[in-house]
Amino acid sequence: MANLDRLTLATAPDSWGVWFPSDPKQVSWKQYLDEIAQAGYLWTELGPSGFLPQDPARLRDELDARGLRVCGGTIFAGLHRGSEALDEAIEKCSKESRLLTALGARHLVLLPEQYTDMHSGAALQPGELDAEQWKNLVTGYDRLGKYLAEEFGVELVFHPHADTHVDTQDRVERFLTDTDPQYVNLCLDTGHISYCFGDNLAIIEKFGERIRYVHLKQVDPAVRERVRAEKLSMAEAVPLGVMVEPPYGEPDMPPLLDALARLDTDLFTVVEQDLYPVEPHIPLPIGARTAGYFRACGLGPVRRWPY
């Protein structure tokens, strides 16, 4: 196996069942920060904008008290809808970038807008884009990435996602081909690629220079097959357990980590396991086991006790 020293382990609120800034079915931000520290993590994403405290000084104090640091943030954007959507994205991303940079982070993960409702799974818009909408999408990301780089020194990393217009491997490759690598690069989410029956190793081989950030996630192939057979939405698939903790799903992690290490570049590798909705006592043991698994694979750093 290649040396994994340039891959930095992190986690995200998603792994604690957090999909929304506020929701009665989610853990509190205090429980999240307390428990990721207990599980051994040193790095975290911000999660949905507004979930963690938005005042940089307060958030820095909360992180410092637990020995934590921020690696990135996430924003959804429907740039296929045109100039108004781009203006909205610039406003949201500017707010998030100010918080990120105040905390020493520089990666902003952009997710395309889902065409299904995140609560019910109901279809909200067509699943296909026409030529004009695709042009809006790719040119919008180029403009947004340029703005974030020039205004904040923040790097836009695009996150393909199930139930969006950039989900399958073909669409991911088309998106990368049609966008400017100076301003738009890839957050490789291994679970979403596998959920859509893509090949993570092939993407790493073909577009390795575009991979600047990673979400480590695994899919249960049996549940995935049910999702396909019954034409279920992502919101319906997650409660069925379509995302699982390693090593119980796909893709196989050791060869994937080896391929990422061979890129010989610094990467945050952020553990994610979609769990919404989840009972509040469930995420911590899963998160701790997952940290232990990746530490055994050679990823770090993790907290050593006592601290």
pLDDT digits (tens, 9 = 90+) for 212-260: 999 999 999 999 999 999 999 999 999 999 999 999 999 999 999 999 9
Kindly report the pTM of this predicted structure.
0.96
Q: Which residues contact 232 (CB under 8 A, 6 or more apart)?
A: 121, 226, 240
What does the block give as tokens for 124?
A: 């909200």
pLDDT score for 304: 59
Are residues 60 and 84 in contact, defined by beta-carbon separation less than 8 angstroms? Answer: no
Taking the alpha carbons of 205, 192, 90, 267 in that order, is the dihedral positive or negative? negative
- pLDDT category at 1 given cuts 50, 70, 90 is low
pLDDT digits (tens, 9 = 90+) for 278-289: 999 999 999 999
